Amino acid sequence: MKIRIELDDGLDDVEVVIRAANLTDQVNQIQSLLSKMNQPSLVFYKESSEYFVKLEEILFFETDGAKIFAHSKTDAYEVKLKLYELEEILPITFCRISKSSIANVRSVYSLDKSFSGTSRIRFADTHKVVHVSRHYYQLLKERLQELR
């Protein structure tokens, strides 16, 4: 692995570019570490309590009206961020799957393709499912191939 630092007076913010032939575990670890450095911690809410759940336990995020919910195998928690804000801070293991949902690709158990255009993701050991829109289906398939 080579590490190179370039200084540029014209930049307003630090930019990190990772170049690799393939998406390997080492590249994922580097990306994860860099993301954690600049990542605000996510706080999950349920009624009047705050929960600090590991991101690996979250299956998907979805909108329900004006609120955003994070779903684990057994619970749903409210999140005070918008989906586009979550997309910016979540690690590469999370992928936008519809206008109203983001899924944890590592938690996908099965992907059921439908002729109507919307496919369905199932997660292991839970009854929860989430729909994938036609527009995001190919992106999800590519991400599944990269991370499996």
- Per-domain boundaries in the chain: 43-145
> What pLDDT tens digit does each residue of the chain (148 aa) get?
888 888 888 888 888 888 889 888 888 888 877 776 665 568 999 999 999 999 999 999 999 999 999 999 999 999 999 999 999 888 889 999 999 999 999 999 999 887 777 799 999 999 999 999 999 999 999 998 887 7
Name the CATH architecture for the domain at 43-145: Beta Barrel (2.40)
pTM, rounded to two decimals:
0.73
* In contact, 55 and 41? CB cutoff 8 Å: no
* In contact, 52 and 41? CB cutoff 8 Å: yes
- Residues 13-42 pLDDT 10s: 888 888 889 888 888 888 877 776 665 568
Give the closest residue to 68 by CA, choosing from 83, 90, 58: 83
